[in-house]
Amino acid sequence: MALLGADVRLTPHRREVFEVLQGSTDHPTATDIFTRVKDRSPSISLATVYNCLEHLSSAGLIKQVHLERGQSRYCANLHEHVHFHCETCGKVTDAHPAAGFDPAKFWNLPAGTKITRTELAIHGTCASCATKG
């Protein structure tokens, strides 16, 4: 079972990591996920959690999120969305695009949200690499 990219064999550990992430809306880190999965599978190791996250994300079932230096976060929401990061409490939440789309209010953030900074990273292949490859 895989949605995008290469297949992943859905072993019990991978399934549990995936399910824990699907059941989380807080963009947990690898160690967050480790402690949550450990409740169900006390024998799992942190190395396996990293390994599962790597396989799941290279299969396109989950995404890695890098908002700031430090631990990577993970997200199982595959719909088009952006991340709102509160610099006061550290919470990371999803924001989905609104219909209608005034660029100022393009992203559907809760009322009262204050935006201080947005960072958009565009990933792809640059023109010179595209012609070479």
Partner DNA sequence: TGAACACTTTAGAATCATTCCAATTCTAAT
Partner DNA sequence: ATTAGAATTGGAATGATTCTAAAGTGTTCA
Residues 9-48 as x/- pattern, contact with DNA by CB under 7 A: x-xxxx--------------xxx---------x-xxxxxx
Rg, the chain, Cα only: 17
Q: How far is the CB of 83 from Mn ion (least distance, A)?
A: 5
Q: How far apart are CA 67 and CA 5, in angstroms?
A: 24
With CB under 5 to 8 Å by kind, the binding choice for 43 among Mn ion, DNA, its own copies, none is DNA
Min dist. Cβ of residue 74 to DNA (A): 9
Residue 46 or 95: the one with the smaller Cβ distance to DNA is 46
Q: Measure CA 38 to chain center.
A: 20
Instruction: Quote the crossing angle between the two packed helices 46-58 and 30-40, to the nearest 10°.
Output: 110
Asked if 113 interacts with DNA (CB under 7 A), we say: no
Encode 55-64: b = buried (16+ Cβ within 10 Å), e = exposed. bbbebebbbe
Contact residues: Zn ion, CB under 5 A:
86, 88-89, 126, 129
* Residues making up the binding site for Zn(2+): 86, 89, 126, 129
